[in-house]
Structure 1
Amino acid sequence: MTRCLVIGGNGFVGSYVVDELVATGHEVTVFDRFSGGERRYDATPAREISGDFLNVGQVEQAVAGQDVIFHLLSTTNPASAEADPLLDVRTNVTSSIELFRLAAAARIEHLYFVSTGGAIYGEQAQDVVDENAMPLPISPYAIGKLSIERYLAYFRRVQGLRSTVLRLSNPYGPRQSPTRKQGVIPIFLRQIALGEPVTVFGDGSMERDYIYVADAARMLVAPLGRQSPHDLYNVGSGRSFSINEIIDSIRRITGIDPAVRFMPAPPTFVQHIALSTERFRAAFGETTDLTDLDEGVRRTWQTMVEAR
């Protein structure tokens, strides 16, 4: 049994990682702020630590006695990082460096950092992007994630902190907040539930690699305790869907044909991204049982309907 600390374990993706770790027999400690007191995960972890990622002493206490760390906490989202890039640097980047320092000092066996695959590559010539592509981030959020990746590589080389970067595409599903400026599927579903028009930035042709969150969690946990030849992996579905295709899926699932309001796309939006997962599949096995888009939208919509 591996003692796993999940930084940001009460967040959207983090809560599913907690569930997956518990289901696969590991001892889990969740570190998060637990805003509002709500527990998002279903599993019962060994420990819950209510703490602030910006408080080095609290993070140090959480790290003590752990074998492995999953770092999923982000103090910003793409919109808030763009509104205040310095906030992203002062909180996400510097606090992650502190975490890596503490992990190295505590001789943590392995640290897994969940980065972004949806934004870090920027605009690429190829349709499906693999890990050999040079990152070309054009948003502060993605620039910050790449900075954290580079600092993690520094700690790996200089202080021997074993680590893996997992570049996650665009996860969606139940537990994702529909009121934040991140995650078009729950945002669209909420707008439809309220009888509002769906707001699309651009002409609807923008494409992203969407992956159902429970599938993403299984992939994020898969490298735990296994030897692998690389320290960087893409995690995604391996294909892209346009915003127009997302709306078509929502029409099929909800039976509602929403009005669509088109707005200019921000200059930091990437037009197309799909992640190659060949490296991941070669190291950890096939991922052919992924939830298809309509089924994932159906589960997300059903959760919203039940919560109303």
Structure 2
Amino acid sequence: MKITIIGAAGFIGTNLTKALLKNPENSLRVVDNNIKYFTNLTDSELSRCEVLASTFDVNTDFDTLVRDQDIVYHLVSTTVPSTSNQHIPQELVANVVATSKLLEACVSEKVRRIVFMSSGGTVYGKDEQSPIIEESVTTPISSYGLQKITIEKLMYLYNYMYGLDYRVIRLANPYGPYQRPNGVLGAVTTFTYKALYDEPITVYGDGSVIRDFIFIDDAIAAIIKIAESDCDERVFNVGSGSGTSIAQLLDAISVSLHKILNVNYQASRPVDVPINFLNVNRFQHLFGPIVHVSLTEGIKKTALFLTENVK
């Protein structure tokens, strides 16, 4: 299968690339802003990919990127939830308008299917009862979530007008190897890293915020099953199916690593939804269990990776 991954050098893209390369029948074209970003792929892995450097914006030559491809994975976002409300017009152009250009290219180049990495944590907003099903009302309270749901609707439109097949992955909060422990995204990875090196951990609010954490290997396995399936469903929640409070997460890290944590509590942020975890029955009905790595086991795996690879 011929597959293009746009945003392939990031956390999800790196793990997805490595997983797809395990199938010798796959031919991968991996795309990111700079070829130098692909430092997490081995020489052997890189030799089996077509590696391209490209921006993701309204001027990108998307036709070249997706030409002669069966599946295109769209993993790019130029923003993160915590800061997306600061530059709403610019972010809409950078993500929504640019994606419409990508969809135009997929149609003109006859791509079989596009897979979009949406957000189970932000598209639903704060009013839905957890666990949240895919049919729930989408009322995001961040520009990040608004961009994601708008792109989802664009994909529906291009399917309606041109027959472009698509899959939407509403992903919860993945964590694990190759995620940067910089505190911008990824509470599990960031907190684990700071715990390992006895650094202060910043928590916004009192620790009662509830999130849905899934180990990256489980997330990637689910994403590939969805992307390659010819089922009738197009939108899928991908998460653990259960909620964990930040306080519970901190306790799990402390117990797993045998560490006393130095936690610094700060005022809560308006973009943080109080409770969010996903109902994953749609996935499990079609494909079976989604979680194979528990949170405790995942923390230990993440800690081992960080100890061996990140200083």
Alignment TM class, shorter chain as reference: over 0.9
* C-alpha contact (below 8 Å) 1:138/1:268 kept by paired residues: yes
Partner of 1:15: 14
Partner of 1:270: 273
Partner of 2:144: 141
Partner of 1:201: 204
Match for residue 109 of structure 1 among 109, 112, 136: 112
Q: Distance in 1 between matches of 2:119 and 2:127?
A: 15
TM alignment of 1:93-172, pairs within 5 A: 93-172=96-175
**Secondary structure at 2:247's aligned position in 1?**
helix
Structure 2 unmatched ranges of 5 or more: none
Match for residue 307 of structure 2 among 302, 305, 308: 305
* C-alpha contact (below 8 Å) 1:199/1:262 kept by paired residues: yes
Q: Distance in 2 between matches of 1:137 and 1:271?
A: 13
Structure 1 unmatched ranges of 5 or more: none
* C-alpha contact (below 8 Å) 1:237/1:290 kept by paired residues: no
Q: Percent identity?
A: 27
4+ long deviations beyond 3 Å: 34-38, 41-45, 55-58
Partner of 1:248: 251
Q: Distance in 2 between matches of 1:299 and 1:117?
A: 24
* C-alpha contact (below 8 Å) 2:128/2:137 kept by paired residues: no
Match for residue 217 of structure 2 among 194, 214, 218: 214
The AA in structure 1 aligned to 2:111 is: I
The AA in structure 2 aligned to 1:302 is: L
The AA in structure 2 aligned to 1:26 is: N
**Secondary structure at 1:229's aligned position in 2?**
coil
Q: Distance in 2 between matches of 1:272 and 1:22?
A: 36
**Secondary structure at 1:222's aligned position in 2?**
helix
Q: Give, in angstroms, the shift of residue 198 of structure 1.
A: 1.3
Aligned length: 306
Q: Give, in angstroms, the shift of residue 160 of structure 1.
A: 1.4
Cα deviation 1:256-306 (Å, max 9, x = unaligned): 1112111111111111111111111222x1125521001111111112212
Partner of 1:28: 28
Q: Distance in 1 between matches of 2:78 and 2:50?
A: 22
Match for residue 184 of structure 1 among 159, 179, 187: 187
Q: Distance in 2 between matches of 1:218 and 1:131?
A: 19
TM-score (norm 2): 0.93
Q: CA RMSD in A?
A: 1.7
Partner of 2:76: 73
Would you say 1:232 and 2:235 are equivalent positions?
yes
